Amino acid sequence: MIRLRRLLKILRVAVRYRIDKLLPQDKLPAAFVLLLRYSPLRLWPTPNMSRGERLRRALEDLGPVFVKFGQVLSTRRDLLPPDVADELAQLQDNVPPFSSEVAKQLIEQQLGASVDELFASFTIEPMASASVAQVHAATLKDGSDVVVKVVRPGIDRVIASDMKLLYTIAGLLQRFLPDGRRLRPLEVVEDYEHTIFDELDLQREAANTSQLRRNFEDSHLLYIPKVYWDYTRHNVMVMERIYAIPVTDLAQLEAQGTNMKLLAERGVEIFFTQLFRDNFFHADMHPGNIFVSREHPDDPQYMGIDCAIIGSLTDFDRYYLARNLLAIFNRDYRMVADLHIECGWVPPQTKAHEFEGAIRSVCEPIFQKPLGEISFGQLLIYLFSTARRFDMQVQPSLVLLQKTLLNIEGLGRELYPQLDLWETAKPFLEAWMKERYSPKNVLSMVEARLPGWLEQLPKVPDRLLDRLNQPIVPQQSSRELESLQTELKGLRRSNSLVLTLLLLLSAIAVFSSAEQATSSEYIGFFGLGVVLTLLLKR
């Protein structure tokens, strides 16, 4: 019943603002166009507002889930008309606030004291209001200027209702669309649910903020304000107030002589640093959360807030992502095809030469333009559309990353239209790959994992005996024996690998402790490891 009411509200809002008129008629199915043309909707008057304002007001009326969607759209000026993008940009910090008295009561309830006892001063009118929370200015007793962020009351119930509706829609898509199962809409919705509910926990946001601040401590690229933990709870967070220029205020940035080219390039550098160096990236980098320091405009520094949504990838995904991006940069289409198959993004039976040809046919026309004019976001859209023909699976774990990368490009091009994302990103990726898989780093990774391997090694015989003692059903015996054979081979490989690594690490220890260690000692250690490996593989 709740979902039905919510669905009816969505339909009412869509009709009120005549959202149907914003749909591109030439790209809709003929049956749908016919339905719109002869539906009672055409009798409903169109509000006396611009198309951008109608869309913005509709999203605001529908609440935080839809406001977040509008925030993402506002950064994609390569996909939206300028007038619509300008209007949606107001969603960043112009969402109507809730009662200031209610906010004050929530703060006092969470912190266990009156605002007069907690702060030297407290501004009752909010500084800014967003979809999930609003912010008030205050001063601590020690004179520190801070902002107090408080979650909207009852917002969790609204989001829960919207998420139920999204699950229903996703289930219908998965069941009835030809591509529904491949697109995995239920997994995408589940991933988004975790993301948006994380925004309601300000202690989590405070922890993310502190971590990001440590990652960029003393950095000239990015400044993250300090969190005051004594004043932070589940629904309230107090952090350092920053005095900076909103990144969307181009007039003020240019007036102070900001190096706009460097500023745009540093946005790209910050993103790749967060992803590949730290594996901890701000995944909600819309313009409302980004500011620019007023100091050193010739050497501009970003200032970031609202770290509720943080992304990270597995080492596996980061590795394949970096290699895919480099292959695209180098126009090595066969490598792109092979990597998609190797990492499982397309089925293993995909014919690499056919996939390569399809990728080439999409990319080559784009690469005829100057690199500075190529939209990386648009290229990704074309690539994903091409991969759909080869049954590419949607990767929910990469959804945040893809969205963030598109946001970064949209923002960078807004600051400096000639931004060459490729020139900025390619050297960074090449350096990361070289450093990541240098002998020194590989040995460091082995050293970090070795205690766990050694801990598991004595348990191998028991696991093998348990497996052998399991009853084998006759009709399944062939499959069970094949599985056991594979497992035995894997165990032999694991044991030989551990022994070889032990010998290599022993050699390193000898070298580090003995000044007169010779190359022949290294060869002896390594040779012994190779012999043992060959014996164990037999």
Residues recognised as catalytic: 284
In DSSP notation, 80-135 reads S-HHHHHHHGGGGTBSPP--HHHHHHHHHHHHTS-HHHHEEEE-SS-SEE-SSEEE
**Tokens describing residue 277:** 């160096």
Answer whether 313's CB lies under 8 Å from 270's CB.
no
Give residues with Cβ within 8 angstroms of 402, minimum separation 6: 380
d(CA 33, CA 43): 16
Which helix (H) or strand (E) element contains residue 137?
A: strand 133-140
Angle among Cα 92, 94, 100 to the nearest 5 degrees reads: 125
HEC string of 114-129? Answer: CHHHHEEEECCCCCEE
Q: Which two tokens stand for residue 189?
A: 């919705």
DSSP state at residue 294: S
For the chain, give the number of residues.
538
For the chain, the farthest-separated pair of C-alpha atoms sits apart, in whole angstroms, at 92
Q: Which of 313, 329, 334, 320 is nearest to 380 (CA)?
A: 329
Residue 114's nearest CA partner among 90, 138, 88 is 138
Q: Under 8 Å CB-to-CB from 58, ≥6 apart: which residues?
A: 13, 14, 16, 17, 19, 66
DSSP character at residue 75: T
Confirm if 161 and 6 have CB atoms less than 8 A apart: yes
Region of residue 344 (phi > 0: left; psi between -120 and 50: alpha; otherwise: beta): left
DSSP class of residue 246?
E
Asked whether the beta carbons of 406 and 375 are under 8 A apart, the reply is no
* H or E segment and range at residue 139: strand 133-140
Q: Identity (one letter) of the amino acid at 19?
A: I
Query: β-strands 244-246, 310-311: how paired?
Result: unpaired
Q: Which helix (DSSP H) or strand (DSSP E) does residue 15 occupy?
A: helix 2-16
